[in-house]
Amino acid sequence: MDGYGDDATDAHDGTHAHDAALADADPRTAAILEAERERQRSSLQLIASENHASRSVLRAQGSVFTNKYAEGVPGDRYYGGCEHADEIERLAIDRARKLFDAEHVNVQPHSGSQANAAAMLAVLEPGDTILSADLRNAGHLSHGHQANLAGQVYDVERYGLDPETGLLEYDTLRERAEDVDPDLIVSGFSAYPRTVDWERIQAIAEDVGAFHLADIAHITGLVAAGVHPSPVGVADLVTASTHKTVRAGRGGIVVCGEDLADAVDRAVMPGIQGGPAMHNVTGKAVGFGEALEPAFEAYAERVIANARALAGGLADRGCRLSTGGTDTHLVLVDLRETHDRDLLGKAAERALEDCGIVLNANAVPGDPRPPKDPSGIRAGVPALTTRGFDEGAMDAVAECIVRMLEDPEDEAVRREVTECVDELCAAHPLYE
């Protein structure tokens, strides 16, 4: 199914008829949709949080469940007509529980950020103290940025990664936790390429009397496939995104033990949301079903092999990688020590996008520059792996990236890299 180029059954699922109906009713929107489909096909998607969902997931999300309100939980709703909503949500929950070997899963959060907000609301009071990593240290907005609700409701203290190595130093985290005495420690990262030792963080949390929230948004699929250790059953609360490495419908989930189940469900609704987006819950059910198939484990293994190939290809060509490499789906390049030092985050992002290489500027640990125009770039391989890229193709991607980083103004280089990108895209069809 990789690349979704050979799944003949989907040709008969009504998708084309729906496209034709939309083109008839709203040609402008249909044209924008087609342009986006073409952009995804004709460029390399290396944004580490993105992927290409199967046609079945796309179909499930564009379904009649868009129409349905279903506040509450299966079997206990505020509205009538929920029998099928109950059935699909129960299916999503059952599959998620199996996938993560979990006691309780709430599948309603609209996103990973909402999942984090709900998890915090479930166990904290306003003014309680969170200890988390900020954007410069691979953290996420929803972990307590001052502009985010969490940063305004809770007292947020920070821990960092080692600015030299980029690694999480567990002893430093322990010292910080003992100093700060938090009510909640947030682990899990948006730009950390290494395996996280959840048990060690849980031990720190227990020693200082804090809850531990592990946000596995980026590595959801790697955890589901068993190729990264799972925090489920270790951390008190686990939040995940469902559309990144796991390729299911768009949104988030909260995973916890039975002891926190009611608090989590109440925190999601009415705490931070109203009606669940049932079309997304449907997409989650479908994607979780796909992730339970043996082929998904092979996909997750290929993600890691491809990320390592990309890391090796970049490092061999002179890039400085934060932490020196990767164990996961992404690499973080510190451009301050790579090639032309004037070409930092945003400028590098733009130069690469000009040639069809789409990734994002990203802060590196200890970054003195602002998160909007930081010193590094982050590249992830989940989407290219879905398209069927192998390690050889990833090395070609590394070559393209480095050639552009070395000579961003050279027209001939730009042409050659664009041609190489076109060839790689043509060799790895998507949704065709």
**Given the rule CB under 6 A, which residues bind ligand DSN?**
49, 112, 140, 190
CA dihedral angle for residue 364, residue 368, residue 371, residue 374, rounded to 10 degrees: -60
DSSP, collapsed to helix, strand or coil, labels residue 158 as strand
The amino acid occupying position 379 is A
- In the complex, least distance from residue 112 CB atom to ligand DSN, rounded to whole angstroms: 6
Distance from C-alpha of 214 to C-alpha of 212, rounded to nearest angstrom: 6
Other CB atoms within a 10 A radius of the CB of residue 84 amount to 14
- The least distance separating ligand DSN from the CB of residue 228, rounded to whole angstroms, comes to 16
- Kindly give the interhelix angle for 391-406 and 294-316, rounded to the nearest 10 degrees: 30
Min. distance of Cβ 48 from ligand DSN in angstroms? 6
Residue 112 or 289 with smaller CB distance to ligand DSN: 112
**Residue 217 C-beta: closest distance to ligand DSN, Å:** 6
d(CA 290, CA 228): 18
Which tokens sit at 307? 């990320």
- β-strands 211-215, 184-187 pairing: parallel
Nearer to ligand DSN, 137 or 190 (CB): 190
Sign of CA dihedral 164, 194, 114, 238: negative
Q: CA 66 → CA 15, 35, 85, 165, 227, distances in Å?
A: 16, 24, 11, 46, 34
Question: Distance between CA atoms of 244 and 249, rounded to whole angstroms?
Answer: 9
Q: State which residue, 49 or 328, has the beta carbon closest to ligand DSN.
A: 49
Which C-beta is closer to ligand DSN: that of 192 or that of 198? Answer: 192
Output 95 or 140, the one with its CB closest to ligand DSN: 140
Nearer to ligand DSN, 88 or 186 (CB): 186
Please say which residue, 74 or 139, places its beta carbon nearer to ligand DSN. 139
15 vs 273, beta carbon nearer ligand DSN = 273
Q: Which is nearer to ligand DSN, 116 or 230 (CB)?
A: 116
Strand pairing class (211-215; 237-241): parallel
SS3 content of the chain, % helix, strand, coil (to 5): 50, 15, 35
* CB 49 to ligand DSN: min, Å: 3
Beta strand extents in 191-293 (DSSP E only): 211-215, 237-241, 252-256
138 or 300: whose CB is closer to ligand DSN?
138
Alpha-carbon gap, residue 246 to 300, rounded angstroms:
9
Vertex 107 angle, CA 101 and 113, to 5°: 105
The span from the CA of 360 to the CA of 51, in Å, is: 14
Classify strands 72-73 and 76-77 as parallel, antiparallel or unpaired.
antiparallel
